[in-house]
């Protein structure tokens, strides 16, 4: 059943332990795609309309091209489909196609105008699990800078969300709605070759390409949900011991092939600066305290997280994405957690004054996060974008939704409608410019992974990383073959 050398159930004389294994370097090139300008360069007074404008302008060409390929030869009852520049130029009864931004009119969706008009007499509704109204009265619109067109058709049923750019083929009906026959989206953008950026810079520097070692594994974990309490301590300890190669028998060495750990958000269980509705009520009802209030801030989870990182960091580089519950800004893109939260582990970070990236050590990054690891392009989020998108649709698997985000070339289509977002002005980094090789989203209910293929041979590994606090799972991605495996840590509940 078990190989004998794995059994450490023997006493004296003690065998000499096997030689210590060491980790390889992690080839890492951060991209800083989602970093916002610092300090006063940040402007929150801009209109969000610009984001939609930029999105449409940037993606229109790609969508148009796809639609041309698909529909140029399309004929319906002798009618040739023709492209109409603006949605308001659609004529009744004419077979044509238009490009526009989807807007979903949903009764259950939070509406900022409602919020303002009702502010004075009713509390805002609690956040919902889904925006889909049970009666099925939701409307879908297609809009561009000229106006809106109500669209209808069976092919659309709960497959699109606010903010994605779409080409729709169809005819306008007598009632003014646009009956859609087929749709097209931009699909995956160009995918860089492995090691492309590194090789390019080497060529520029006229250096020969080095012989690269076999890449190790990337470990992804999310939702550590550290509380101040000790209910999950042993599982976290096991994680530390697994990653440091202390737990287990001689197979400890397998952990040494892990060359980087990514923590995909929600490391702390409840540290968001925005109070939930219930918390707010409690706070409001409570007596007012002046000065330091220990009930309003509990440093224990943060200290624990810091100590946790400080245990791992001596032997493993860690990239930390902030998540919904972490003490970072709430608007996407979330900026890196502040080093002041990590008095112990920030010794493994380059001084922030000198460099804004740490290649080996504590690497505090944005959410979403884009980087080249072992030559592969990696895009990851802590999962808010996916959670919000899933509220628009019904019965869609998270992995499929992630795939659609890539195909729409929009990492956060529902921002800024229902997702907090920085008002980007001239360029929107949330538009996908290059296709990643690995796309992961943290804080899923369970582990899922699949490969997606693009029209130009792109291949993307999509991973849903489960919450560690719920499942005890971490995801390992082999950075040579892009194979996925999981490690499950836990304990058996003591019986009666």
Count of C-beta atoms within a 10 Å radius of residue 159 = 16
Distance CA 361, CA 354 (A): 15
Give every CB contact of residue 480 below 8 A, 6+ residues apart in sequence.
Answer: 214, 215, 374
CA 18 to chain CA centroid, Å, is: 40
Q: Which stretch binds another protein (CB under 8 A): 44-52, 77-85, 103-111, 396-404?
A: 396-404
Would you give the end-to-end CA distance of the chain in angstroms? 28
Q: Confirm or reject binding of residue 329 to another protein (CB under 8 A).
A: no
Tokens representing residue 20 in the block: 């210590």
- Which of 256, 266, 366, 418 is close enough to bind another protein by CB under 8 A? 256
- Contact stretch for another protein (CB under 8 A) within 99-107, 111-119, 272-280, 395-403: 395-403
SS3 (DSSP) at 478: strand
| Locus of tokens 């996925």 | 484
Letters for 90-129 (x = contact with another protein by CB under 8 A, - = none) are ---------------------------------------x
Q: Can residue 453 be called a binding residue for another protein (CB under 8 A)?
A: no
The full DSSP string for 272-321 is -SSPPHHHHHHHHHSPP--S--TTT---HHHHHHHHHHHHHTTTS-EEEE
The correct pick among 114, 246, 281, 293 for binding another protein (CB under 8 A) is: 246
Tokens of 366: 């944005």
Q: CB under 8 A: which stretch of 86-94, 114-122, 239-247, 280-288 binds another protein? A: 239-247
Cβ proximity to another protein, 51 vs 316, nearer residue: 316
> Which residue of 445, 453, 455, 456 would you call a contact of another protein, by CB under 8 A?
445
For another protein, the closer of residues 169 and 236 by Cβ is: 236
Beta bridge partners of residue 226, listed in sequence order? 268
Nearer CB in complex with another protein: 63/402: 402
Distance separating alpha carbons of residues 324 and 299, to the nearest angstrom = 18
Least distance (Å) from another protein to the CB of residue 144? 31
Among 115, 233, 281, 293, indicate the residue that binds another protein (CB under 8 A): 233
Length of the chain: 496
Contact set for another protein, span 343-382 (CB under 8 A):
343-344, 346-351, 360-361
Between 231 and 278, name the residue whose CB sits nearer to another protein: 231
Contact pattern for another protein over residues 290 through 319, marking x by CB under 8 A: ----x-----x--x--xx--xx-xxxxx--
Is 237 a residue that touches another protein (CB under 8 A)? yes
Binding segment toward another protein, per CB under 8 A, in 55-63, 201-209, 236-244, 407-415? 236-244
Structure tokens at 152: 């209808």
Cβ contacts of residue 296 below 8 Å, gap of 6+? Answer: 283, 289
| 35 binding another protein? (CB under 8 A) | no
Here's the x/- map for another protein, 128-147, by CB under 8 A: it reads as: -xx-----------------
| Contact call for residue 480 and another protein (CB under 8 A) | no
With CB under 8 A as the rule, give the number of residues binding another protein.
Answer: 98
Rounding to the nearest 10 degrees, give the CA dihedral for residues 320, 326, 332, 333.
-20
Q: Who's near 225: CB < 8 A, 6+ residues apart? A: 232, 266, 267, 268, 269, 325, 467, 468, 469
HSE value, Cβ hemisphere, 13 Å, CA-based, for 457: 2
Helix (H/G/I), strand (E/B), else coil: 475: strand
Distance of alpha carbon 146 from alpha carbon 450, whole angstroms: 39
Nearest distance from C-beta of residue 189 to another protein, angstroms: 23
C-alpha 442/C-alpha 263 separation (Å) is 9
Examine residue 156 and tell whether it contacts another protein (CB under 8 A): no
Please list every residue from 164 through 183 that binds another protein, using CB under 8 A.
none
Candidates 50-58, 87-95, 323-331, 480-488: pick the segment binding another protein (CB under 8 A): 480-488
């Amino acid at each position: 059943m078990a190989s004998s050398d794995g059994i450490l159930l023997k006493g004296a004389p003690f065998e000499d332990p096997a030689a210590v294994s060491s980790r390889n370097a992690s080839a890492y090139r951060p991209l800083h795609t989602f970093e916002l300008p610092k300090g006063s360069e940040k402007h929150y007074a801009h209109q969000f309309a610009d984001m939609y404008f930029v999105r449409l302008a940037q993606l229109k060409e790609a969508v148009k091209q796809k639609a041309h390929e698909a529909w140029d030869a399309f004929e319906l009852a002798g009618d040739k489909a023709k492209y109409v520049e603006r949605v308001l130029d659609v004529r009744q009864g004419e077979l044509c196609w238009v490009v526009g931004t989807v807007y979903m009119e949903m009764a259950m969706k939070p509406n900022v105008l409602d919020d303002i008009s009702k502010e004075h007499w009713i509390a805002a509704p609690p956040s919902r699990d889904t925006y889909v109204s049970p009666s099925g009265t939701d409307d879908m619109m297609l809009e561009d800078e000229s106006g809106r067109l109500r669209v209808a058709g069976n092919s659309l049923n709960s497959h699109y969300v606010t903010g994605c750019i779409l080409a729709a083929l169809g005819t306008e009906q007598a009632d003014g709605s646009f009956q859609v026959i087929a749709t097209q989206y931009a699909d995956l953008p160009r995918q860089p070759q492995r090691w492309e950026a590194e090789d390019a810079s080497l060529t520029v520097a006229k250096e020969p390409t080095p012989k690269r070692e076999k890449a190790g594994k990337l470990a992804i974990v999310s939702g550590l949900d550290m509380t101040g309490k000790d209910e999950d301590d042993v599982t976290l300890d096991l994680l530390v011991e697994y990653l440091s190669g202390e737990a287990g028998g001689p197979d400890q060495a397998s952990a040494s092939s892990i060359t980087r750990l990514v923590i995909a958000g929600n490391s702390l269980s409840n540290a968001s600066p925005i109070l939930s509705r219930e918390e707010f009520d409690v706070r409001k009802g409570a007596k007012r305290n002046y000065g330091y209030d220990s009930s309003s801030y509990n440093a224990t989870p943060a200290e624990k997280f810091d100590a946790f990182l400080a245990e791992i960091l001596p032997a493993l580089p860690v990239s930390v994405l902030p998540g919904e519950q972490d003490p970072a800004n709430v608007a996407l893109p979330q900026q890196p957690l502040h080093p002041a939260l990590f008095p112990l582990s920030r010794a493994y970070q380059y001084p922030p004054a000198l460099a804004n990236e740490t290649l080996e050590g504590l690497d505090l990054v944005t959410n979403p996060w884009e980087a080249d690891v072992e030559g592969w392009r990696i895009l990851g989020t802590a999962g808010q974008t996916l959670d919000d998108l899933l509220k628009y649709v019904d019965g869609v698997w998270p992995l499929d939704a992630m795939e659609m985000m890539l195909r729409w070339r929009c990492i956060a289509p529902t921002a800024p409608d229902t997702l907090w977002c920085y008002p980007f002005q001239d360029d929107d980094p949330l538009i996908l410019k290059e296709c990643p090789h690995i796309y992961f989203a943290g804080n899923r209910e369970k582990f899922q992974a699949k490969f997606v293929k693009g029209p130009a041979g792109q291949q993307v590994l999509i991973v849903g990383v489960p919450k560690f606090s719920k499942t005890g799972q971490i995801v390992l991605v082999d950075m040579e073959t892009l194979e996925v495996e999981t490690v499950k840590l836990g304990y058996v509940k003591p019986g009666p």
